[in-house]
Structure 1
Amino acid sequence: MHRIDTPTAQKDKFGQGKNGFTNGDPATGRRATDLNSDMWDAVQEEVCTVIEAAGIQLSKGEHTQLHAAIGRLIDEQVKTRLEKNQNGADIPNKPLFLQNVGLGETINLAKNAVPATRRINSKPLSGDITLWASDVGAISADAVGEITDNGTMASANTPGWWRVAVSNSDTVADFPTYPDGSKLYSYGYLFVEKIGEVWFQHYYAHIGANAKRQDWGTVPNTSRPWIVDYNTANKPTANDVQALPIAGGRLNGPLSIGTDNALGGNSIVLGDNDTGFKQNGDGVLDVYSNYTHVFRFIGNLVESMVSLKVNGNSVATGEVQAGNGSSRMTSNGDIFGSVWGNSWLSLWINNNFVADVQLGAGTSVVTWNNAGSWPNTPGYVVTSVWKDYQGENIDGIAYAPLQKRVGNQWYTVQGGTV
């Protein structure tokens, strides 16, 4: 089919590229639109094709065949279409239809859907409903109550969050308390739980400290004490955990470093369990090595219970004593002991050794032409002999006592006589 396209057609009569026909006007000299075989052939075939498509034989004398053909074609199409007034009842394969439109999963979910006759906490599901935490057994995100002055923490007996706004915690008998008796900061939130016949309370102060308690029963009670948690806002003291503070303190019992303690009492062991220090009485400090008592410190006295070896100089600013003080050596080197007659070595040497030797006062004797024996006295010795040039005999001798000094006393030696 096509629009008239002869030279006399009216161009674009029905729009761009849509030509039309025009009447001729002899008065103006306007020509009517010329028709040609192409145009009429197109009209003929368009009409005849519709009639024949409907299965109708062309009949020259009948002028309603086009109408009949259109009706028949429409009826044939309607037979394969759904009737509007059937509302889907005439769908031949309903499951396949639902599958094709993607409703299979929806239908499966609908099988397990809650019917509108169901209720939630007496609220029907036939329309929109508003649920609260209590409707479904949940805990509300909002505070369910408040504790103020002159109340009790135990009064918070409904599960959920309770606001705590206590200006004077002394008016709340069961307010959380530190071990030293002071109260926690009294503004915060209290969380209450109940599981079966067990209830829990958790208090969270705004400054970070928190405490908890738990008991059996249907509701909390004021007699149950609180357990205060340790955290960065509530750091434990050394006393809280029975530890020694870094500044020092009292340790009740033995101390072991790297091992157990076998010394017992007030002792410190190092490395192995029987080597260390032990206090064995008032002012008595003992040193042990493999449970052997090796040293004792008593006031101004240090005792060694075993042999003492000094690798190096041994320096004493006072006396060195042995035999529990029966033998002593002083700073001047003198030694006291029983071997020296319970006296000092210097005195014993002074009293028993010759300290000096001398010749006493001399005597001169003329021996020439004299008979005699000189010196015929014990301890005397000849000190000199003299002679002149005359004769053959000596003229004289000189002699003197040989003396020794013992201590401060001079003695003439004995013996020497004939």
Structure 2
Amino acid sequence: MTVKISGVLKDGTGKPVQNCTIVLKARRTSSTVVVNTVASENPDEAGRYSMDVEHGQYSVTLLVEGFPPSHAGTITVYEGSRPGTLNDFLGAMTEDDVRPEALRRFEQMVEEVSRNASAVAQNTAAAKKSASDASASASEAATHATDAAASSRAASTSAGQAASSAQSASSSAGTASTKAREAAKSAAAESSKSAAATSASAAKTSETNAAASQKSAATSASTATTKASEAATSARGAAASKEAAKSSETNASSSASSAASSATAAGNSAKAAKTSETNAKSSETAAGQSASAAAGSKTAAALSASAASTSAGQASASATAAGKSAESAASSASTATTKAGKATEQATAAARSASAAKTSETNAKTSADNAASSKAAAASSASSAASSASSASASKDEATRQASAAKGSATTASTKATEAAGSATAAAQSKSTAESAATRAETAAKRAEDIASAVALEDASTTKKGIVQLSSATNSTSESLAATPKAVKAVMGETNKKAPLNSPALTGTPTTPTARQGTNNTQIASTAYVMAAIAALVDSSPDALNTLNELAAALGNDPNFATTMTSALAGKQPKDATLTALAGLATAADRFPYFTGNDVASLATLTKVGRDILAKSTVAAVIEYLGLRELGTSGEKIPLLSTANTWTNRQTFSGGLSGELSGNASTAAKLKTARKISNVAFDGSSDITLKASHVGAFALGKTGSTVANDKAVGWNWSSGAYNATISGASTLIIHFYMGEGSCPAAQFRINYKNGGIFYRSARDGYGFEADWSEFYTTTRKPSAGDVGALPLSGGQLNGALGIGTSSALGGNSIVLGDNDTGFKQNGDGNLDVYANNVHVMRFVSGSIQSNKTINITGRVNPSDYGNFDSRYVKDVRLGSQQYYGVNNWQTWNFQCPSGHVLSGINVQDTGSNSADNIAGVYYRPVQKYINGTWYNVASV
């Protein structure tokens, strides 16, 4: 089964990552997935992704448009994995997280040593092949040396024959003297001239061929040197060096062929020469070429010997480095690889030396052929001695010089062949050294594998790293086993049964050690400690209270002693601020306390009169003490003093007063006792006016005078009905004045003919602060503007509108059911559509802009296809045909340029294998048609 990995790909600010591709590359082969296969997923505009992933391990890479690939990490999907997000799988623990670091390190070491061992084996095989090639080159050099010696002997024999021919020619000189003079004047001279011209032309051809041979050999040497350097740079260079060596061999073969052609041309020149002088000169020239080639062979042999010596030293150093330690096996293998490449280079140099020796052999053979030609020329000179004695004599001298030069050339060729043999021997020694270094590198690699294998199998301990075995035991004392989650769970289960150190809740019958008496700290006290402490406390009490009975008797045997004491204390005066104030007075004699304020007490001086009054036991006694009692008994005279009548002395009346008092309120100047009527003072001195407010009644008619406007009646005026003038008419002002509270007064304004009812209210101390407000009735309904509504005929709504909810979009917006889903005007001519506060679409003049993916179920039928034609490919074709051909009939290769495909091949009808002779190929670009123009594609 697959496991679903889905979620939303977000960046650090919580925004969805757009234009991104999630790539999963298999890191290993599972039951359903092959290693290195790649799968991808493209999240939508909101960053949502969903993948059904097979079981296995994958490397996760994020490809975001405009940025380089980013490696996110590695995930492992198991058969029992639960569905989750990519973040869950990236954050999960992998096998590499739980594998010990040492084990991973040794696995890497084993893998690296294995790779190095393979490379060493390959380099060893290459070194063996190079050594074999060097041995073959040495054998060929020896053969060439033998051939050169034979050529030397042949040249010597040719010289002797030439000398004999010269002697014979001399002996016949006298006989043919006359004939020679005649021949000098006739055909012999003409024939000698023609032969000399032909010989000169052939010599020129030989010189040209020799120069071409020398240039080809130089090119071959340069190519071999370059390829050898590349071989030392890398392992792949060995293969390139092999190809270079092959090319060098081909060039050397070409050089040998050219030399052979030169030799053939020289032979033809010798045969064509009719005079011994010209033939001897050609032989001398050929001998000079042989000496030059032999010198080149000497130089090449010296270079080969030097390179072989260097290779021997380097191979020895490589062998020493390879045996240093198993830990440097990888480095040793790399060094062996380099040295094997250098051995290949020396083998190539040996091949060059062998080629040079072969060239020397060719030159020696050419010298031998020239010597044979000299012999034939000498014989021809002898036969024509009768024609010209002078030519015979010259032929003798030139033949002698030619023999000497050929002998020297043979000697030089023999020397160079010996040097080539020495170079081959050095190459064989280099081969042996390289094989020894490769063998020791293999041994070092094997030792490294053995060490890595041994270390990888060791168990970990408290002092070293290694492999750890898991165990579910909870009572093990081993220091080499690692606990499994099962063991940890079991231990945690037991731990959870224990009481916590912080505020433990103990159950059952817990025990604790009994501390010694007198301990005073935070440890738990046992029952034994408490009983001992109580016993000690009782024993330390007085004898009269050292038992519970004695304590109970001391408390009056009251089982509710605490309640009794609380009740008794409740009846006592509590200590408060009043008592505190009194207690703070400094008492003294003749001082009397009194209160000057709330809970503020003071002392007054107590005089003798004050003590006397306080000493009286009755009120009558006090009155008597003050002299306010009647003098005598009832019926006695009472003295009166009238200051109004300007009495200066008290007067007494006997028998009382008799008669009537005349007068009434109208005639009285002032009532003796004033009164109030409806809270209006009346003392009889003047009339009073009672208003409706005095008796709690409302005015029955107009109150006061007509006022100038509807705001003229003051808030604190008397309640009543007032008439006010407004705009040429009048209105009724009903005024209520209460005179207290937050709203002491209220007024109502009533217009005629149901012209409206208005009101206003006052605030205590401020009066009427607000203007009139109208009451709306069935005949005077409010307008839409009065109540802040839109009229049915339409109008302007300022601010956001929410249908079924409030708007969270703000500005000029309309939301439908959801507070962040609806329409919003964002700037002039811009109408935006929002869904869950996400801007998804915009309507502007002439176009519609979609910020999210548009899913269309039906067809899209545009009226204008111009935009489609300018953006999409309408057709595909192959462009103009092009041709790539070769003329040398050799091996070649060709790759189409980017964006092109092969469209045909050219097979030449040449030779017996005409079907294999491909002379060239045809290729054409792939083109796409967009908006009326054909474009070449970038790649196919």
Shorter-chain TM-score bucket reads 0.3 to 0.5
Q: Bigger relative contact order, structure 1 or 2, given CA contacts below 8 A and separation 6+?
A: 2
Q: Which has the higher helix share?
A: 2
Q: Which structure: greater strand fraction?
A: 1
